[in-house]
Structure 1
Amino acid sequence: MRPRRHPGVYDTAVIGGGLVGSALAFGLRRHEEHVAVLDEGDIAYRASRGNFGLVWVQGKGMGMPAYGRWTMASRERWAEFARMLQEASEVDVHLEQKGGLHAILSEAEHEHRLQFMNKLLSQPGMPQYGWKMLDRTELRDIVPGIGPDVLGATLTHVDGIANPLKTLRALHIAFDRQGVDYLPLHPVTGIARHHGVFALGTPGGAVKARKIALAGGLGNKALGEMVGLDVRVRPQRGQIIALERTRRLLELPFGTLRQMDEGTWLIGDSQEEAGYADRDVGLPVLATLADRAVRTLPALKEVRVVRSWAALRVMSQDGFPIYDESQTHPGAFVATCHSGVTLAAAHALCLAPMLAQGRLDDELAPFSTRRFHVHQAS
Structure 2
Amino acid sequence: MTARGFDVVVAGGGLVGMAIAWGVARQGLRVAVCDGDDIAFRAARGNFGLVWVQGKGSRCLPYARWSRCSSERWGAFAAQLQRETGVDCGFERPGGIELFEHEAELEAAGALLESLRRRDAALTYEALDRAALRKRVPAASERLAGALWSPHDGHANPLYTLRALLQALLASGGVYLPRNTVREIRPRAGRFEIDTPAGPLEAARVVLAAGLDNARLAPMVDVHAPISPLRGQIMVTERLAPFLAYPTLVVRQTQEGSVLLGDSAEDVGFDDGQTRAAMADIARRARTAFPALAHARIVRAWGALRIMTPDGLPVYEESRAHPGAFVAICHSGVTLAAVHADLVAPWIAGGAPPADLHAFTTARFTAPQDAPHV
For normalisation by structure 2, the TM-score amounts to: 0.95
Deviation at 1:117, TM superposition (A): 1.9
C-alpha separation in 1, matches of 2:3 and 2:218? 26
Deviation at 1:371, TM superposition (A): 1.2
CA distances 1:55-99 after superposition (whole Å, capped 9, x unpaired) = 111011111111111111101110110011101211001110111
Is structure 2 residue 110 aligned with structure 1 residue 117?
Answer: no
Q: Which of 309, 315, 320 is the matching residue for 1:316?
A: 309
More deviation in 354-363 or 134-143? 354-363
**Is the 2:4–2:200 contact (alpha carbons within 8 Å) kept by the matching residues of 1?**
no
Q: Which of 154, 158, 163 is the matching residue for 1:164?
A: 158
**Is the 1:237–1:272 contact (alpha carbons within 8 Å) kept by the matching residues of 2?**
yes
1:16 corresponds to which residue? 12
**Is the 2:117–2:124 contact (alpha carbons within 8 Å) kept by the matching residues of 1?**
no
Q: Which of 94, 105, 108 is the matching residue for 2:104?
A: 108
SS in 2 for 1:9: strand
2:193 corresponds to which residue? 199
CA distances 1:300-348 after superposition (whole Å, capped 9, x unpaired) = 1111001111000000111000000000110000111000000000000
C-alpha separation in 1, matches of 2:152 and 2:65? 13
C-alpha separation in 2, matches of 1:298 and 1:57? 27
CA distances 1:222-251 after superposition (whole Å, capped 9, x unpaired) = 111111111101000000010000111111
**Is the 2:250–2:285 contact (alpha carbons within 8 Å) kept by the matching residues of 1?**
no
CA distances 1:257-300 after superposition (whole Å, capped 9, x unpaired) = 1001110000111111010001x211111111111111111111
1:298 corresponds to which residue? 291
1:150 corresponds to which residue? 144
C-alpha separation in 1, matches of 2:7 and 2:368? 35
1:70 corresponds to which residue? 66
SS in 2 for 1:238: strand
Residues 1:240 and 1:38: Cα distance change in structure 2 (over 3 Å): same
Residues 1:43 and 1:334: Cα distance change in structure 2 (over 3 Å): same
**Is the 1:14–1:21 contact (alpha carbons within 8 Å) kept by the matching residues of 2?**
yes
Deviation at 1:358, TM superposition (A): 5.5
C-alpha separation in 1, matches of 2:332 and 2:369? 25
Q: Which amino acid aligns with 2:31?
A: V
Is structure 2 residue 26 aligned with structure 1 residue 30?
Answer: yes
Q: Which of 242, 248, 256 is the matching residue for 2:250?
A: 256
**Is the 2:343–2:354 contact (alpha carbons within 8 Å) kept by the matching residues of 1?**
no
Is structure 2 residue 170 aligned with structure 1 residue 176?
Answer: yes
Runs (5+) with no aligned partner, structure 1? 1-5
SS in 2 for 1:292: helix
Q: Which of 183, 187, 191 is the matching residue for 2:181?
A: 187
1:3 corresponds to which residue? none
Q: State, as a whole percentage, how many aligned pairs show the same letter.
A: 45
**Is the 2:130–2:142 contact (alpha carbons within 8 Å) kept by the matching residues of 1?**
no
C-alpha separation in 2, matches of 1:197 and 1:342? 32
What is the total number of aligned residue pairs between the two structures? 369
Is structure 2 residue 50 aligned with structure 1 residue 57?
Answer: no
Q: Which of 13, 25, 39 is the matching residue for 1:43?
A: 39
**What aligned pairs does 1:325-344 form with structure 2 within 5 A after superposition?**
325-344=318-337
1:86 corresponds to which residue? 82
C-alpha separation in 2, matches of 1:242 and 1:304? 9
Deviation at 1:114, TM superposition (A): 2.1
C-alpha separation in 2, matches of 1:333 and 1:233? 16
Residues 1:376 and 1:116: Cα distance change in structure 2 (over 3 Å): farther
Residues 1:152 and 1:361: Cα distance change in structure 2 (over 3 Å): closer
Is structure 2 residue 276 aligned with structure 1 residue 283?
Answer: yes
**Is the 1:121–1:127 contact (alpha carbons within 8 Å) kept by the matching residues of 2?**
yes
Deviation at 1:362, TM superposition (A): 4.5
Q: Which amino acid aligns with 1:121?
A: R
Is structure 2 residue 188 aligned with structure 1 residue 222?
Answer: no
C-alpha separation in 1, matches of 2:3 and 2:255? 41
C-alpha separation in 2, matches of 1:110 and 1:304? 30
